């Protein structure tokens, strides 16, 4: 998914899009093609290149329909969707924002730039999602928001999390950047907490290359998100209330607006999401069913009553205790030797990043949430479940249109590898 291509010039170029050959010879799915190209071509000819264009509005309407939410706003990326949502929720200096340590940095980095302090939370050992019991322990009078991440397209235990939210009055932001189209007890993820955010970055199940989207039923969150960075979205056109009328059309003068071309491409991809999810579901469930009679490996369950979506990655539990204590890396190497591009966790746990493990003077001169005196540095061992998951999850390739025999190859490689390790 990422490649460092420095073959053509002296300047290394960092490429991070879902490459069409990401699954190697195992997958025939092309993430982008003719339809996306035609959409972009036609938008350029119409000069539909800035602002809330008809295509942007069509996308936001489609997203409202998908989520059943009243308000939707596209942004230039998922990080700025989360920033806008946290700003919308009123997160500010001195506040605390809770999020799992096992997630991508952008689930929480926006909180830092609002002056808020991150509070990390451990994971559930089975589902690998935020652990509600640990969440409850970490709430303080300063907690202003909870960021729940539906990691890898699996779904968090939203009933337990929302019960804590109701009890404490702390709102929930659902980061659905991996889980486009996932459901929890009949409701789309992103529509259960106060606000949902999605990334539309190049490797995501619905992608515009770069882009983001937030959706909510909370009018204050929506209006504040517009106010922050959506120049020219005015009351009567977009803003729902006249509360901030005197600040329009410029708002607060930041800019978080999406590029319409990205949103146009994402609109084409959104139409394919149901098919993509169905294809990935069939493949993942076939492999998971085959794991049942293999030692040392097991499917990762999603929380009760949920349906996975997006399938941003395909993790399985590796159980070293069933295979003589051998490390997960051994299984990964054996799978790779059999032509299956398996990996370990591609994300670093947040509490291990130097930014958080050492702290950082973000605003210089000893100010900001990660400074000495304000920041309690996390340590190794503080999040034992996430640390174990990070060590022991093994990731199989996500196949969307498996080549003939590809699923059987993945299953056979797993069976042969664990058999070898068991001997």
Ligand X SMILES: Cc1ncc(COP(=O)(O)O)c(C=O)c1O
The residue length of the chain stands at: 423
d(CA 406, CA 279): 13
| Binding-site ranges for ligand X (CB under 6 A) | 77-79, 103-104, 106-107, 149, 175, 177-178, 199, 201, 212
Question: What's the closest the beta carbon of residue 178 comes to ligand X, in angstroms?
Answer: 6
Nearer to ligand X, 101 or 107 (CB): 107
Task: Give whichever of 18 and 402 is closer to ligand X, judged by the CB atom.
Answer: 18
Torsion 24-30-32-38 (CA) sign: positive
Nearer to ligand X, 96 or 210 (CB): 210
> Maximum distance among all alpha carbons in the chain?
73
Distance CA 255, CA 233 (A): 12
Containing 419, the helix (H) or strand (E) segment is helix 406-422
Q: Which is nearer to ligand X, 149 or 206 (CB)?
A: 149
Q: How near is the Cβ of 42 to ligand X at its closest, in Å?
A: 24
Residue spans of beta strands (DSSP E) within 93-244? 96-100, 117-121, 143-149, 172-175, 183-184, 187-188, 195-199, 212-216
Q: Tell me how far, at minimum, the Cβ of 77 lies from ligand X, in Å.
A: 3
Rounded to a whole number of angstroms, the minimum distance from the CB of residue 200 to ligand X is 6
Closest-approach residue to ligand X (CB): 78
Instruction: Give the residue with the Cβ less far from ligand X, 206 or 410.
Output: 206
Which residue, 197 or 414, has its beta carbon nearer to ligand X? 197
Within 256-405, where are the H helices?
260-291, 328-337, 354-357, 384-392
Interior/surface letters 227-251, b for 16+ CB within 10 angstroms, e for the rest: bbbbbebbbeebbeeeebeeebeeb
CB neighbour class for 65 (10 Å; exposed up to 12, middle 13-18, buried from 19): exposed
Phi-psi region of 320 (alpha: psi -120 to 50; beta: other; left: phi over 0): alpha
Pick 201 or 248: Cβ nearer ligand X:
201
Q: How far is the CB of 410 from ligand X (least distance, A)?
A: 24
Least spacing, CB of residue 201 vs ligand X, in Å: 4
Q: Are 199 and 212 in contact (CB under 8 A)?
A: yes
Q: How far is the CB of 420 from ligand X (least distance, A)?
A: 34
């Amino acid at each position: 998914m990422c490649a460092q291509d420095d073959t053509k010039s002296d300047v290394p170029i960092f490429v991070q899009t879902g490459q069409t050959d990401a699954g190697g010879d195992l997958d025939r799915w092309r993430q982008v093609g003719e339809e996306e190209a035609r959409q972009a071509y036609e938008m350029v000819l119409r000069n539909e290149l800035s602002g809330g264009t008809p295509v942007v509005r069509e996308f936001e309407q489609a997203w409202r329909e998908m989520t059943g939410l009243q308000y939707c706003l596209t942004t230039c990326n998922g990080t700025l969707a989360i920033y806008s949502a946290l700003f919308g929720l009123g997160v500010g200096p001195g506040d605390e924002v809770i999020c799992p340590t096992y997630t991508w940095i952008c689930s929480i980095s926006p909180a830092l730039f609002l002056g808020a302090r991150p509070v990390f939370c451990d994971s559930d050992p089975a589902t690998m999602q935020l652990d509600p019991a640990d969440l409850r322990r970490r709430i303080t009078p300063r907690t202003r928001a909870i960021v729940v991440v539906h990691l890898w397209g699996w779904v968090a235990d939203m009933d337990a999390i929302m019960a804590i939210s109701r009890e404490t009055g702390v709102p929930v932001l659902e980061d659905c950047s991996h889980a486009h189209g996932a459901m929890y007890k009949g409701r789309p993820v992103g529509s259960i907490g106060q606000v949902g955010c999605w990334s539309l970055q190049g490797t995501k199940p619905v992608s515009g290359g770069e882009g983001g989207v937030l959706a909510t039923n909370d009018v204050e969150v929506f209006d504040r998100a517009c106010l922050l960075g959506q120049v020219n979205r005015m009351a009567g056109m977009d803003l729902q209330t006249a509360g901030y009328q005197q600040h329009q059309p410029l708002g607060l003068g930041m800019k978080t607006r999406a590029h319409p071309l990205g949103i146009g491409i994402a609109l084409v991809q959104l139409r394919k999401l149901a098919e993509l999810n169905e294809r990935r579901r069939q493949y993942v469930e076939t492999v998971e069913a085959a794991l049942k009679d293999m030692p040392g490996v097991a499917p990762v369950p999603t929380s009760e009553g949920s349906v996975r979506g997006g399938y941003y990655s395909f993790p399985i539990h590796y159980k070293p205790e069933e295979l003589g204590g051998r490390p997960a890396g051994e299984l990964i190497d054996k799978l790779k030797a059999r032509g299956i591009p398996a990996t370990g966790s591609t994300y670093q746990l947040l509490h291990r990043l130097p930014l958080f493990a050492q702290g950082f003077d973000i605003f210089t001169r000893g100010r900001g949430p990660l400074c000495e005196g304000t920041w309690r540095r996390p340590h190794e061992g503080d999040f034992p479940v996430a640390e174990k998951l990070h060590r022991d999850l093994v990731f199989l390739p996500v196949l969307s249109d498996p080549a003939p025999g590809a699923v059987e190859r993945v299953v056979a490689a797993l069976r042969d590898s664990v058999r070898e390790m068991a001997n």
